[in-house]
Structure 1
Amino acid sequence: MPSPASSGWRLTHDMRATRFSARRRNGFLHLRSRFLILLMAGSCLLASAGQIVAAPTSTAHPPASAGSAPSSAPAKAATPPPAATSPQQSSHDNKPSAPSAKKLTHQDRIGLLADQLAHAKTPEEAHTLEDMLETLRSAGLSPTTQLLLRRAQKDVSAEKPDNAVDDMGDAIALQPDQAILWRSRAQMRLVAGDLAGAVQDLGAALQRDPKDAQSWNLLTTVEEHRNDGQAALKAWQKMLDLNPMADKNHKRMDALRIKAFGQPT
């Protein structure tokens, strides 16, 4: 039979063993709990990382404030710095510019149209240019001179050529530089039968306006009335130089040549 002391020692030994076993068991449970916590934390981290990878990449824009209009103006490009100017270029820039084209005078425009008439391709074109030239030649007449010219034309229509010559004399006295007035008086003198006076006036007209084809045409007619075939032929050749379409088929040229040199044999 065990003694009470022995029983007490065993009881004490069993209690110590039990506490040691409990301590070991509690330590194992504590380690297991820490392992489970770490495992759960790792799972959460992996899930968060998967969500970040799966989310689409987008650029964050600040929200537009209510009521503000969207900006439609394009971005202003940076202005490049001005190029450096070399001294040689500056010297060229400082040179005076070429003088502007000279403004055409009244006579210059008449000369240009006369040159176009000399190169006209059709009778219709030539007729149009003749009308333009006649308008230009009359543009320099004063109102008083125009009145005298119209009165002279009425005198011719009324078979009063001498009065017409006097009216044209008054007009020439006002504007002696106008070639068309000398030509007009030559026409009045032709009607009046003053052939020498007509030749004289046409000479004055052609001296002022040598490219007036109508003056050469009128001179041809005056020379024909004077029975000077060769002078008439020369005047007509001058006229054709200025207006080739006036005798496209050379009918009048052939007739004047016959008057000047006779019928060819």
Structure 2
Amino acid sequence: MRFFYFVPVLILAALAASSAPAEEPVTDATVASAPTPETLESKLFDALKRERDPEKARSIASQIMASWKDSGSATVAFLMQWADTSIDQKKNAAALDFLDQVTVLKPDYAEAWNRRATLHYAMGDTRKSMADINEVLKRNPRYFPAIAGMATILTESGQDELALKAWERYLDIYPAEREAQQAVEKLSEKLAGNRT
């Protein structure tokens, strides 16, 4: 499936070559300098870490999350769409089947693991949710929605110190998130009160 990822790059290079002025031909170096999805994501994460305005940070975070949804596979995209439809229709077993298929077909696709973690959580199975969150973070340690899910589960289970560490990890990636800031403040106060 990786072949299809490079096709747009080749098409763009061909288009650029046909529209470039004669004195500036497109070379291999020009194509090589085109930003990769990883480079763009890294720049977005740098911007997210620096941004202090919550609205602007939310916009950057949305761009990052949108990039994670692209699996590079039409089959996976259809399965994810069917899983979403099944979730909307409260057909959780069918949704789990679709998400299971995605994790088998494309095990490195963190979004499927995260979606399955969210569904397990909604179904009340925090053990399976945490197992899927761990799979997400193995594939993408900066996947901040999964870190938030982990922190929420840890808080609900009374593991405040671990929850605080998870929220701090989240804020290291996404410092302008107000809800995470409030969670850290609340947990810090609670833990400080327990120590006195």
Q: Check whether the contact 1:233–1:260 (CA below 8 A) recurs between aligned residues.
A: no
Q: Tell me how large the CA RMSD over aligned residues is.
A: 2.4
Deviations 1:200-229 (A, max 9, x none): 111111121112221211211122233322
Larger Rg: 1
C-alpha spacing 1:260/1:188, structure 2 compared with 1 (3 Å): farther
State the shift of 1:105 in Å.
Answer: 2.9
C-alpha spacing 1:168/1:249, structure 2 compared with 1 (3 Å): closer
1:88-107 correspondence to structure 2 within 5 Å: 102-107=33-38
State the shift of 1:256 in Å.
Answer: 2.3
Structure with the higher fraction of residues in helix conformation: 2
1:50-129 correspondence to structure 2 within 5 Å: 102-129=33-60
1:107-256 correspondence to structure 2 within 5 Å: 107-247=38-178, 250-256=181-187
Structure 1 consecutive aligned stretches of length 4 or more whose deviation exceeds 4 Å: 99-103, 258-265
C-alpha spacing 1:141/1:232, structure 2 compared with 1 (3 Å): farther
C-alpha spacing 1:164/1:222, structure 2 compared with 1 (3 Å): farther
State the shift of 1:152 in Å.
Answer: 1.9
Q: Structure 1 length normalisation: TM-score?
A: 0.56
SS in 2 for 1:172: helix
Q: Check whether the contact 1:195–1:226 (CA below 8 A) recurs between aligned residues.
A: no
State the shift of 1:153 in Å.
Answer: 2.2
Amino acid at match of 2:171: L
State the shift of 1:125 in Å.
Answer: 0.9
What are the ranges of 5 or more consecutive residues in structure 1 without an aligned counterpart?
Answer: 1-98
Q: Structure 2 length normalisation: TM-score?
A: 0.74
C-alpha spacing 1:195/1:106, structure 2 compared with 1 (3 Å): same
State the shift of 1:238 in Å.
Answer: 0.5
C-alpha spacing 1:172/1:259, structure 2 compared with 1 (3 Å): farther
Relative contact order higher in (CA < 8 Å, ≥ 6 apart): 2
Q: Check whether the contact 1:247–1:253 (CA below 8 A) recurs between aligned residues.
A: no
Aligned length: 167
Q: Check whether the contact 1:161–1:191 (CA below 8 A) recurs between aligned residues.
A: no
